[in-house]
Structure 1
Amino acid sequence: MLPHVYRITKYDPADRDQHGHYIGAEAETSDHGPVEAAYLMAVAAFAEDTGVGQLAIREPEISGFAHFGPEPTVDGHGLAGLFPHDLAGFHDGAQVPIEIGLELVRAMLRDNGAWCRLEVEGRFSLHVGWDQYLYVGSSRPCDAALARTRTLALFPERLDASPYDFVLDQQHVQRPADADFWARLRWVVSSYRATFLEETYVRNASR
Protein backbone atom coordinates (compact mmCIF):
# COMPACT_ATOMS: atom_id res chain seq x y z
CA MET A 1 0.00 0.00 0.00
CA LEU A 2 1.37 3.42 -0.95
CA PRO A 3 1.81 5.97 1.85
CA HIS A 4 0.27 8.96 0.05
CA VAL A 5 -3.23 8.44 -1.36
CA TYR A 6 -5.51 11.18 -2.63
CA ARG A 7 -9.07 11.36 -3.92
CA ILE A 8 -9.26 14.03 -6.61
CA THR A 9 -12.62 15.39 -7.73
CA LYS A 10 -14.38 18.45 -9.08
CA TYR A 11 -16.69 18.32 -6.05
CA ASP A 12 -16.15 21.02 -3.42
CA PRO A 13 -16.04 19.38 0.05
CA ALA A 14 -18.09 22.33 1.29
CA ASP A 15 -21.00 20.97 -0.78
CA ARG A 16 -21.22 17.64 1.05
CA ASP A 17 -23.86 16.68 3.61
CA GLN A 18 -23.18 15.25 7.06
CA HIS A 19 -22.74 11.80 5.50
CA GLY A 20 -20.15 12.98 2.99
CA HIS A 21 -22.52 12.79 0.01
CA TYR A 22 -22.09 15.52 -2.59
CA ILE A 23 -25.19 17.73 -2.88
CA GLY A 24 -23.81 20.49 -5.12
CA ALA A 25 -24.56 21.28 -8.76
CA GLU A 26 -21.65 19.53 -10.50
CA ALA A 27 -22.74 16.81 -12.96
CA GLU A 28 -21.67 13.20 -12.37
CA THR A 29 -20.47 12.87 -15.96
CA SER A 30 -17.49 14.31 -17.81
CA ASP A 31 -17.87 17.63 -19.53
CA HIS A 32 -15.57 16.36 -22.34
CA GLY A 33 -13.99 19.79 -22.01
CA PRO A 34 -12.02 21.98 -19.58
CA VAL A 35 -12.88 20.08 -16.39
CA GLU A 36 -11.90 16.78 -17.99
CA ALA A 37 -8.68 18.41 -19.18
CA ALA A 38 -8.02 19.56 -15.61
CA TYR A 39 -8.28 15.97 -14.38
CA LEU A 40 -5.73 14.88 -16.98
CA MET A 41 -3.35 17.71 -16.11
CA ALA A 42 -3.61 16.74 -12.43
CA VAL A 43 -2.74 13.12 -13.27
CA ALA A 44 0.24 14.28 -15.32
CA ALA A 45 1.39 16.45 -12.41
CA PHE A 46 1.28 13.53 -9.96
CA ALA A 47 3.14 11.26 -12.38
CA GLU A 48 5.81 13.92 -12.90
CA ASP A 49 6.09 14.60 -9.16
CA THR A 50 6.52 10.87 -8.53
CA GLY A 51 9.05 10.57 -11.36
CA VAL A 52 7.28 8.00 -13.53
CA GLY A 53 6.89 7.98 -17.31
CA GLN A 54 5.72 4.42 -17.96
CA LEU A 55 2.65 2.80 -16.42
CA ALA A 56 1.54 -0.82 -16.18
CA ILE A 57 -2.04 -1.72 -17.07
CA ARG A 58 -3.63 -3.86 -14.34
CA GLU A 59 -6.98 -5.69 -14.17
CA PRO A 60 -8.21 -4.38 -17.57
CA GLU A 61 -11.93 -4.63 -18.34
CA ILE A 62 -14.30 -3.80 -21.16
CA SER A 63 -18.07 -3.54 -21.01
CA GLY A 64 -19.98 -6.79 -21.35
CA PHE A 65 -23.61 -7.32 -22.30
CA ALA A 66 -24.80 -5.12 -19.43
CA HIS A 67 -23.54 -1.58 -18.92
CA PHE A 68 -24.47 0.40 -15.82
CA GLY A 69 -22.62 3.68 -16.36
CA PRO A 70 -24.36 7.05 -16.83
CA GLU A 71 -22.97 7.51 -20.35
CA PRO A 72 -23.47 5.12 -23.29
CA THR A 73 -20.57 2.97 -24.41
CA VAL A 74 -18.85 3.78 -27.69
CA ASP A 75 -17.46 1.57 -30.43
CA GLY A 76 -14.06 0.31 -29.43
CA HIS A 77 -14.69 1.00 -25.72
CA GLY A 78 -12.76 4.26 -26.00
CA LEU A 79 -9.59 2.39 -27.00
CA ALA A 80 -9.73 3.10 -30.74
CA GLY A 81 -6.46 4.64 -31.87
CA LEU A 82 -4.70 3.56 -28.67
CA PHE A 83 -4.57 -0.18 -29.36
CA PRO A 84 -5.27 -2.40 -32.40
CA HIS A 85 -8.90 -3.38 -33.01
CA ASP A 86 -8.30 -6.77 -31.37
CA LEU A 87 -7.11 -4.97 -28.20
CA ALA A 88 -3.59 -6.35 -28.52
CA GLY A 89 -1.54 -4.42 -26.00
CA PHE A 90 -4.48 -3.85 -23.63
CA HIS A 91 -3.79 -6.64 -21.16
CA ASP A 92 -2.72 -7.10 -17.58
CA GLY A 93 0.90 -6.09 -17.16
CA ALA A 94 1.20 -4.21 -20.46
CA GLN A 95 3.48 -1.16 -20.25
CA VAL A 96 2.27 2.11 -21.74
CA PRO A 97 3.79 5.61 -21.79
CA ILE A 98 2.15 8.28 -19.67
CA GLU A 99 0.57 9.80 -22.80
CA ILE A 100 -1.42 6.60 -23.44
CA GLY A 101 -2.18 6.39 -19.73
CA LEU A 102 -3.77 9.84 -19.87
CA GLU A 103 -5.94 8.78 -22.81
CA LEU A 104 -7.04 5.71 -20.83
CA VAL A 105 -8.02 8.01 -17.97
CA ARG A 106 -10.00 10.13 -20.45
CA ALA A 107 -11.86 7.03 -21.67
CA MET A 108 -12.66 6.04 -18.08
CA LEU A 109 -13.85 9.55 -17.17
CA ARG A 110 -16.14 9.42 -20.21
CA ASP A 111 -17.39 5.95 -19.23
CA ASN A 112 -16.60 4.72 -22.74
CA GLY A 113 -16.59 1.07 -21.73
CA ALA A 114 -12.95 0.36 -20.82
CA TRP A 115 -11.49 0.35 -17.31
CA CYS A 116 -8.16 -0.52 -15.74
CA ARG A 117 -5.75 0.42 -13.02
CA LEU A 118 -2.49 2.11 -13.94
CA GLU A 119 0.53 1.69 -11.72
CA VAL A 120 4.23 1.50 -11.14
CA GLU A 121 4.54 -1.12 -8.45
CA GLY A 122 5.63 0.33 -5.15
CA ARG A 123 5.71 3.90 -6.50
CA PHE A 124 2.50 5.04 -8.19
CA SER A 125 -1.11 3.99 -8.69
CA LEU A 126 -4.09 5.48 -10.45
CA HIS A 127 -7.69 4.50 -11.10
CA VAL A 128 -11.09 6.07 -11.72
CA GLY A 129 -14.13 5.21 -9.62
CA TRP A 130 -17.79 6.05 -10.12
CA ASP A 131 -19.02 9.61 -10.70
CA GLN A 132 -15.71 11.22 -11.68
CA TYR A 133 -13.84 10.18 -8.55
CA LEU A 134 -10.14 9.83 -9.31
CA TYR A 135 -7.75 8.05 -6.92
CA VAL A 136 -4.00 8.60 -7.03
CA GLY A 137 -1.39 6.96 -4.81
CA SER A 138 2.29 7.81 -4.65
CA SER A 139 5.41 6.88 -2.75
CA ARG A 140 6.05 10.62 -2.37
CA PRO A 141 3.98 13.44 -0.80
CA CYS A 142 3.67 15.20 -4.21
CA ASP A 143 3.33 18.69 -2.76
CA ALA A 144 3.87 20.32 -6.16
CA ALA A 145 1.18 18.14 -7.77
CA LEU A 146 -1.25 18.92 -4.95
CA ALA A 147 -0.68 22.65 -5.46
CA ARG A 148 -1.11 22.25 -9.22
CA THR A 149 -4.33 20.30 -8.73
CA ARG A 150 -5.79 23.07 -6.58
CA THR A 151 -4.91 25.71 -9.18
CA LEU A 152 -6.89 23.60 -11.68
CA ALA A 153 -10.00 24.10 -9.48
CA LEU A 154 -10.03 20.44 -8.43
CA PHE A 155 -10.14 19.19 -4.86
CA PRO A 156 -7.51 16.69 -3.65
CA GLU A 157 -8.40 14.99 -0.37
CA ARG A 158 -6.04 12.77 1.62
CA LEU A 159 -7.18 9.18 2.23
CA ASP A 160 -5.73 6.20 4.06
CA ALA A 161 -6.54 4.00 1.04
CA SER A 162 -8.74 3.92 -2.04
CA PRO A 163 -12.08 2.12 -1.56
CA TYR A 164 -11.33 0.43 -4.90
CA ASP A 165 -8.00 -1.07 -3.85
CA PHE A 166 -7.49 -4.47 -5.48
CA VAL A 167 -7.91 -7.43 -3.15
CA LEU A 168 -7.14 -10.79 -4.72
CA ASP A 169 -9.74 -13.48 -4.05
CA GLN A 170 -8.03 -16.21 -2.07
CA GLN A 171 -9.76 -18.84 -4.24
CA HIS A 172 -8.46 -17.26 -7.43
CA VAL A 173 -4.90 -17.81 -8.57
CA GLN A 174 -3.59 -14.99 -10.76
CA ARG A 175 -0.37 -15.94 -12.49
CA PRO A 176 1.48 -15.08 -15.68
CA ALA A 177 1.85 -17.46 -18.63
CA ASP A 178 5.53 -17.94 -17.85
CA ALA A 179 7.86 -20.87 -18.62
CA ASP A 180 6.54 -22.90 -15.68
CA PHE A 181 2.95 -22.42 -16.87
CA TRP A 182 3.77 -23.70 -20.37
CA ALA A 183 5.75 -26.62 -18.94
CA ARG A 184 2.71 -27.64 -16.89
CA LEU A 185 0.48 -27.28 -19.94
CA ARG A 186 2.79 -29.52 -22.00
CA TRP A 187 2.62 -32.11 -19.21
CA VAL A 188 -1.20 -31.98 -19.26
CA VAL A 189 -1.32 -32.39 -23.04
CA SER A 190 1.19 -35.26 -23.01
CA SER A 191 -0.74 -37.00 -20.22
CA TYR A 192 -4.25 -36.55 -21.54
CA ARG A 193 -3.57 -36.07 -25.30
CA ALA A 194 -5.76 -32.97 -25.49
CA THR A 195 -6.82 -30.08 -23.35
CA PHE A 196 -8.81 -26.86 -23.62
CA LEU A 197 -7.12 -23.56 -22.89
CA GLU A 198 -9.21 -20.40 -22.53
CA GLU A 199 -7.45 -17.11 -21.98
CA THR A 200 -9.30 -14.24 -20.35
CA TYR A 201 -6.95 -11.47 -21.44
CA VAL A 202 -9.40 -8.71 -20.55
CA ARG A 203 -12.37 -9.04 -18.22
CA ASN A 204 -15.50 -9.64 -20.34
CA ALA A 205 -13.32 -10.88 -23.23
CA SER A 206 -11.71 -14.25 -23.79
CA ARG A 207 -10.18 -16.32 -26.55
Structure 2
Amino acid sequence: MPIHFNWRITKYDPGYRSYNGNYLREEWTSISDICHVFEGSLTPITIHDYLQVENSYVDAVVRVMDCLKIETLEVRGLEKWEEALEISQFNEIYSQKMRELYSHTSEGISLNKVEISLLCRLILREHIWCRLHANDSMFVHFGHDYYMFIGSEKKCADTLQKIRESGLFVEDFHSPINVD
Protein backbone atom coordinates (compact mmCIF):
# COMPACT_ATOMS: atom_id res chain seq x y z
CA MET A 1 0.00 0.00 0.00
CA PRO A 2 1.25 3.52 -0.66
CA ILE A 3 1.64 6.09 2.09
CA HIS A 4 -1.65 7.87 2.70
CA PHE A 5 -1.07 9.46 6.11
CA ASN A 6 1.56 12.10 6.87
CA TRP A 7 2.28 13.75 10.20
CA ARG A 8 4.52 16.36 11.71
CA ILE A 9 5.37 15.13 15.20
CA THR A 10 7.05 17.64 17.49
CA LYS A 11 7.36 18.94 21.02
CA TYR A 12 5.95 22.26 19.78
CA ASP A 13 2.37 23.17 20.75
CA PRO A 14 0.53 24.25 17.58
CA GLY A 15 -1.33 26.81 19.69
CA TYR A 16 1.85 28.90 19.62
CA ARG A 17 2.07 29.06 15.82
CA SER A 18 1.28 32.17 13.80
CA TYR A 19 -1.38 32.09 11.09
CA ASN A 20 1.34 31.18 8.56
CA GLY A 21 2.77 28.36 10.70
CA ASN A 22 5.80 30.01 12.30
CA TYR A 23 6.48 28.93 15.86
CA LEU A 24 6.34 31.98 18.14
CA ARG A 25 7.91 30.77 21.40
CA GLU A 26 11.59 30.48 22.17
CA GLU A 27 12.26 26.86 23.15
CA TRP A 28 15.25 24.58 23.22
CA THR A 29 16.02 22.95 19.89
CA SER A 30 19.24 21.01 20.45
CA ILE A 31 21.21 18.93 22.90
CA SER A 32 23.58 21.91 23.07
CA ASP A 33 20.77 23.87 24.77
CA ILE A 34 21.05 21.79 27.96
CA CYS A 35 21.83 24.10 30.91
CA HIS A 36 20.15 27.10 29.24
CA VAL A 37 16.93 28.82 30.34
CA PHE A 38 14.13 29.35 27.83
CA GLU A 39 10.80 31.18 27.64
CA GLY A 40 8.24 29.95 30.12
CA SER A 41 10.77 28.37 32.48
CA LEU A 42 12.70 29.65 35.46
CA THR A 43 15.16 26.77 35.48
CA PRO A 44 17.64 25.55 32.88
CA ILE A 45 16.99 22.50 30.70
CA THR A 46 18.58 19.45 32.35
CA ILE A 47 19.89 16.24 30.81
CA HIS A 48 16.85 14.54 32.34
CA ASP A 49 14.49 17.03 30.63
CA TYR A 50 16.28 16.54 27.33
CA LEU A 51 16.24 12.74 27.52
CA GLN A 52 12.55 12.69 28.43
CA VAL A 53 11.68 14.49 25.18
CA GLU A 54 14.22 12.53 23.13
CA ASN A 55 12.71 9.28 24.46
CA SER A 56 9.26 10.43 23.33
CA TYR A 57 10.52 10.98 19.78
CA VAL A 58 12.24 7.60 19.66
CA ASP A 59 9.18 5.87 21.12
CA ALA A 60 6.98 7.55 18.49
CA VAL A 61 9.04 6.03 15.67
CA VAL A 62 8.98 2.56 17.23
CA ARG A 63 5.24 2.80 17.97
CA VAL A 64 4.46 3.53 14.31
CA MET A 65 6.74 0.66 13.26
CA ASP A 66 4.81 -1.60 15.65
CA CYS A 67 1.45 -0.40 14.31
CA LEU A 68 2.55 -1.32 10.79
CA LYS A 69 4.31 -4.53 11.89
CA ILE A 70 7.58 -3.27 10.42
CA GLU A 71 10.76 -4.79 11.84
CA THR A 72 13.41 -2.78 9.94
CA LEU A 73 13.87 0.58 8.25
CA GLU A 74 16.36 1.38 5.49
CA VAL A 75 18.83 4.28 5.74
CA ARG A 76 18.65 6.68 2.78
CA GLY A 77 20.41 9.96 2.05
CA LEU A 78 23.00 9.37 4.79
CA GLU A 79 25.10 12.34 5.90
CA LYS A 80 27.91 11.97 8.44
CA TRP A 81 29.93 15.01 9.43
CA GLU A 82 32.68 13.13 11.25
CA GLU A 83 34.59 9.96 10.40
CA ALA A 84 34.21 8.77 13.98
CA LEU A 85 31.67 9.92 16.53
CA GLU A 86 33.18 12.82 18.45
CA ILE A 87 31.47 13.75 21.69
CA SER A 88 32.39 16.92 23.51
CA GLN A 89 29.58 17.02 26.09
CA PHE A 90 27.33 14.61 27.95
CA ASN A 91 29.56 11.61 27.24
CA GLU A 92 27.57 9.56 29.77
CA ILE A 93 24.48 9.37 27.53
CA TYR A 94 26.33 7.75 24.61
CA SER A 95 26.44 3.96 24.87
CA GLN A 96 29.10 1.80 23.26
CA LYS A 97 26.41 0.36 20.97
CA MET A 98 25.53 3.89 19.84
CA ARG A 99 29.18 4.61 19.03
CA GLU A 100 29.48 1.36 17.09
CA LEU A 101 26.27 2.03 15.18
CA TYR A 102 27.60 5.42 14.10
CA SER A 103 30.71 3.75 12.68
CA HIS A 104 28.93 1.02 10.72
CA THR A 105 25.85 2.89 9.48
CA SER A 106 25.98 3.21 5.71
CA GLU A 107 23.69 4.12 2.83
CA GLY A 108 21.06 1.46 2.16
CA ILE A 109 21.61 -0.53 5.36
CA SER A 110 18.51 -1.94 7.04
CA LEU A 111 18.35 -1.46 10.80
CA ASN A 112 16.19 -3.20 13.39
CA LYS A 113 14.17 -1.37 16.04
CA VAL A 114 16.97 -1.29 18.61
CA GLU A 115 19.36 0.15 16.03
CA ILE A 116 16.71 2.57 14.76
CA SER A 117 16.23 3.81 18.33
CA LEU A 118 19.95 4.52 18.64
CA LEU A 119 20.15 6.10 15.18
CA CYS A 120 17.21 8.41 15.94
CA ARG A 121 19.09 9.60 19.03
CA LEU A 122 22.19 10.31 16.93
CA ILE A 123 20.05 12.28 14.47
CA LEU A 124 18.33 14.27 17.21
CA ARG A 125 21.75 14.97 18.77
CA GLU A 126 22.94 16.32 15.40
CA HIS A 127 25.74 13.80 14.75
CA ILE A 128 24.26 12.19 11.66
CA TRP A 129 21.33 12.70 9.29
CA CYS A 130 19.34 10.41 7.05
CA ARG A 131 15.85 9.45 6.00
CA LEU A 132 14.39 6.14 7.16
CA HIS A 133 12.11 4.14 4.87
CA ALA A 134 10.21 0.86 4.69
CA ASN A 135 9.34 0.67 0.99
CA ASP A 136 5.89 2.21 0.51
CA SER A 137 4.75 1.46 4.07
CA MET A 138 6.47 4.06 6.24
CA PHE A 139 9.04 6.83 6.31
CA VAL A 140 10.66 8.94 9.00
CA HIS A 141 12.27 12.27 8.12
CA PHE A 142 13.95 14.64 10.54
CA GLY A 143 14.10 18.37 9.99
CA HIS A 144 15.99 21.00 11.96
CA ASP A 145 15.13 21.95 15.52
CA TYR A 146 13.36 18.76 16.58
CA TYR A 147 10.92 18.54 13.69
CA MET A 148 10.04 14.95 12.77
CA PHE A 149 7.84 13.81 9.91
CA ILE A 150 6.35 10.32 9.65
CA GLY A 151 4.42 8.85 6.77
CA SER A 152 2.36 5.67 7.04
CA GLU A 153 0.20 3.42 4.91
CA LYS A 154 -2.28 3.15 7.82
CA LYS A 155 -3.91 5.72 10.07
CA CYS A 156 -2.63 4.15 13.33
CA ALA A 157 -5.14 6.17 15.43
CA ASP A 158 -4.40 4.39 18.73
CA THR A 159 -0.67 4.81 18.16
CA LEU A 160 -1.07 8.53 17.47
CA GLN A 161 -3.07 8.91 20.68
CA LYS A 162 -0.25 7.26 22.66
CA ILE A 163 2.24 9.61 21.01
CA ARG A 164 0.09 12.58 22.05
CA GLU A 165 -0.12 11.21 25.59
CA SER A 166 3.70 11.17 25.70
CA GLY A 167 3.63 14.97 25.38
CA LEU A 168 4.30 15.31 21.66
CA PHE A 169 2.00 17.05 19.20
CA VAL A 170 0.79 15.24 16.07
CA GLU A 171 -0.38 17.32 13.11
CA ASP A 172 -1.45 16.25 9.62
CA PHE A 173 1.45 17.54 7.56
CA HIS A 174 3.43 16.38 4.52
CA SER A 175 7.17 16.10 4.94
CA PRO A 176 9.07 18.99 3.35
CA ILE A 177 12.17 16.78 3.03
CA ASN A 178 13.09 16.23 -0.62
CA VAL A 179 13.32 12.51 -1.38
CA ASP A 180 14.71 12.75 -4.93
Cα 1:119–1:79 shift into 2, 3 Å: farther
**What residue number does 1:13 align with?**
14
**What residue number does 1:175 align with?**
none
Whose Rg is larger?
1
Contact 2:101/2:119 (<8 A) preserved: no
Cα 1:133–1:85 shift into 2, 3 Å: closer
Q: Which residue identity is paired with 2:80?
A: I
**What residue number does 1:58 align with?**
76
Larger relative contact order, structure 1 or 2 (CA cutoff 8 Å, min sep 6): 2
**What residue number does 1:123 align with?**
137
**What residue number does 1:105 align with?**
120
> 5 Å matches for 1:168-179?
none
**Distance (whole Å) between structure 2 residues aligned to residue 74 and residue 32 of structure 1:** 16
For the pair 1:149 / 2:150, whether they are aligned, the reply is: no
Q: Give the Å deviation of 1:136.
A: 0.6
Q: Give the Å deviation of 1:82.
A: 4.0
**Distance (whole Å) between structure 1 residues aligned to residue 156 and residue 95 of structure 2:** 29
**Distance (whole Å) between structure 2 residues aligned to residue 2 and residue 11 of structure 1:** 24
For the pair 1:38 / 2:56, whether they are aligned, the reply is: yes
**Distance (whole Å) between structure 1 residues aligned to residue 171 and residue 29 of structure 2:** 18
**Distance (whole Å) between structure 1 residues aligned to residue 95 and residue 108 of structure 2:** 17
Contact 2:75/2:110 (<8 A) preserved: yes
**Distance (whole Å) between structure 2 residues aligned to residue 34 and residue 86 of structure 1:** 22
**What residue number does 2:4 align with?**
3
**What residue number does 1:202 align with?**
none
**Distance (whole Å) between structure 1 residues aligned to residue 12 and residue 140 of structure 2:** 19
Any stretches of 5+ residues in structure 2 without a counterpart?
Answer: 32-48, 89-93
Cα 1:85–1:149 shift into 2, 3 Å: closer
Q: Give the Å deviation of 1:80.
A: 5.9
User: Deviation above 6 Å: which 4+ runs of structure 1?
Assistant: none
Identical columns (%)? 28
Instruction: State the superposition RMSD in angstroms.
Output: 2.4
TM-score by length of 1: 0.67
Residue among 136, 140, 144 paired with 2:150? 136
> 5 Å matches for 1:179-190?
none
Q: Aligned pairs, how many?
A: 155
Any stretches of 5+ residues in structure 1 without a counterpart?
Answer: 65-72, 168-207
Q: Which residue identity is paired with 1:56?
A: E
- For residue 28 of structure 1, give the secondary structure of its aligned residue in structure 2: coil
- For residue 158 of structure 2, give the secondary structure of its aligned residue in structure 1: helix
Contact 1:10/1:26 (<8 A) preserved: no
Q: Give the Å deviation of 1:150.
A: 0.8
**Distance (whole Å) between structure 1 residues aligned to residue 96 and residue 18 of structure 2:** 40
Q: Give the Å deviation of 1:158.
A: 0.6
- For residue 27 of structure 1, give the secondary structure of its aligned residue in structure 2: coil
**Distance (whole Å) between structure 1 residues aligned to residue 140 and residue 95 of structure 2:** 18
